[in-house]
A and B are shown apart, each in its own frame.
Chain A
Amino acid sequence: MRYSYYPGCSYHGSAKEYDTSTRIVCKSLGIELVEVSDWSCCGATAGHSTDDLLAAALSGRNLGLAEETGLDVTASCAACYQRLAHGRHELTRDPLLREKVNKITGRPFTGKIKVKTILDVLLDLGVDAISEKVVKPLSGIKAAAYYGCLMVRPAAVQADDPENPVKIDRVLQSVGAQTVDWDFKTECCGASLAVSNEDVVVRLTYNIIKSAVEAGANCLVTACPLCHFNLDIRQGKINSTLGTDFNLPVFYFTQLVGLALGIEGGSLNLNSHFVDTSSLLKAI
């Protein structure tokens, strides 16, 4: 299986462990990722909050570049996935907009290729194919799979059920982990409001972490850099602001899959998190 791969702007910074674990896991599962050449920012929320044409063209350029490879494109970042999938939706349903955007970007996109989450790329391989390659089943892991918003909403781009998604759960179960039933799978973490309105995000992430702990989870597992950032790095801020003593490790699902496949923890950057992961990892 081959896909073109869109890493997104956090890939060498705040979410580098997501990018590295994605690449390494795909490689060991026999999935070839071809990085989209000279990709640019998808525009994220700032783009679509500011101008429709800007948002369409920022997605359009990357879609055009990805189409040059002739391969369906996947993004590990949930926000990038949503912008690319949304861009594809807009550009395929509106030929006039497509023509206009193609002229602006100079990177014609015809709609030939599809946009997939990295989660679907793994699931297309099949849970059995993943299970077969497991060398270290994650028996000590009891995960609260957290999906957030951008992979599951709105309907035009949703990769799973908007209220009760199960795809991260299925992947984790295929590598021997347990997942808990809980209520905050798709509740928003507040995303980039963390910078502009931190108190809002502290309240939202508090609710998410509390719900995961109450459901008996010993870690949170995400597929989104901003969700990870808000739940992991800001956990200290939640504790200092609200007087809680949360100490719940937060992983990218690709890191845990990598661990189960026998990939060494250092190359998965398992120690790059704010909340210490070592005691939980020892228990596997």
Chain B
Amino acid sequence: MSSYNLTESLRQNGEFKALVGKLSGQPLSQCYQCGKCTAGCPVSFAMDVAPNKVLRMAQAGLKNEVLRCQSIWICASCSTCTARCPEGVDVARVMEVLRIMAGKEGIPAPGRGKDVSIFNSAFLRSVRRNGRMFEAGTMAAFNIKSLHLLREATTGMHMFIKGKLRLLPERIKNKKEIDSIFTAAVKERGGEL
């Protein structure tokens, strides 16, 4: 088990805790580590850091560590933790804010998180291009970027047989409005999505 000097960490990264609190709108200090979020988390078995520990790391200002864990990417946004937190902390929102921060800082998603991040990008690229997400195109882009070339090939075949696989994207009429949404988001963020 690794150990941290919390006094030192908070001295250096105190503003990180405040920023996570501000962006998420969540009272991080309220978390008293009961572990209810972790107990109910359906995907905690696949995480490298349990949800309650992610909260603790954010409280302690362990910025470098928490933005580099797989858990913030494996979180499926099911919000079970949020619904059950006795202190009313929206844990799923904190996870989300950490994921967004990691993305903004250009920190590559590690381990199991890598393909999650690739999928999100492929999905958003499809939306940006067409205004609507094109399922087959998103999967093809994911497979190429993730080097899982045959991922979901059987699923795709089945969908095709059942008439559920569209082969061409649908494009909305006012594509310019989608362009302005993406342009505004990129501008405010100060970098690509």
A residues with a Cβ closer than 8 A to B are: 9-10, 12-16, 38-41, 43-54, 57-58, 61, 104-107, 149, 153-155, 162-163, 186-188, 190-193, 195-197, 199-200, 203-204, 233-234, 272-274
Contact = CB atoms under 8 A, between A and B. Distances in A.
Interface string B172-193: 1110011011101100110001
B69 to A, nearest CB: 15
B158 A51 contact: no
A193 B116 contact: yes
B184 A9 contact: no
Interface stretch (B2-10, B11-19, B58-66, B118-126): B118-126
6 contacts: A49-B77, A51-B193, A105-B180, A154-B79, A197-B115, A200-B74
Given A40-B132, A153-B78, A197 B112 contact: yes
A242 B160 CA distance: 26
A188 B43 contact: yes
B178 A40 contact: yes
A190 B77 contact: no
A185 to B, nearest CB: 12
Interface string B86-110: 0000101100100110010000000
Find the residue from A40, A43, A57, A186 having the highest chain B CB count within 10 A: A40
B170 A49 contact: no
Interface residues of B, number: 63
Contact of B135 (A14, A49, A58, A274): A14
B132 A149 contact: no
B165 interface: yes
Given A149-B76, A153-B82, A188-B78, 12 more contacts: A13-B135, A38-B172, A40-B127, A45-B77, A46-B119, A51-B189, A52-B23, A149-B79, A154-B79, A190-B42, A192-B119, A195-B119
Given A54-B185, A204-B42, A44 B172 contact: no
B165 A195 contact: no
B161 to A, nearest CB: 10
Contacts of A191: 76-78
B159 A14 contact: yes
For chain B, what secondary structure do more than half of its interface residues adopt (helix, strand, loop), or is it mixed? helix
B170 A12 contact: yes
A52 to B, nearest CB: 7
Given A54-B193, A197-B112, A197-B116, A233 B77 contact: no
B37 interface: no
Contacts of A105: 177, 180-181
B36 to A, nearest CB: 13
Of the candidates A43, A50, A193, the one having the most CB atoms from chain B within 10 angstroms of its own CB is: A50
A104 B184 contact: yes
Interface string B145-169: 0100001100100110011111000
Contacts of B131: 40-41
B159 A13 contact: yes
Contacts of A58: 127, 181
Nearest to A106: B177
B42 A187 contact: yes
Nearest to B46: A200
Contacts of B99: 49-50
B43 A193 contact: yes
Given A57-B184, A106-B180, A274-B158, A10 B79 contact: no
A9 B172 CA distance: 11
B123 A44 contact: yes
Which 9 interchain pairs have the tightest Cβ spacing? A196-B115, A188-B78, A46-B123, A153-B79, A54-B185, A46-B120, A149-B78, A9-B133, A162-B83
A16 B100 contact: no
A10 B152 CA distance: 16
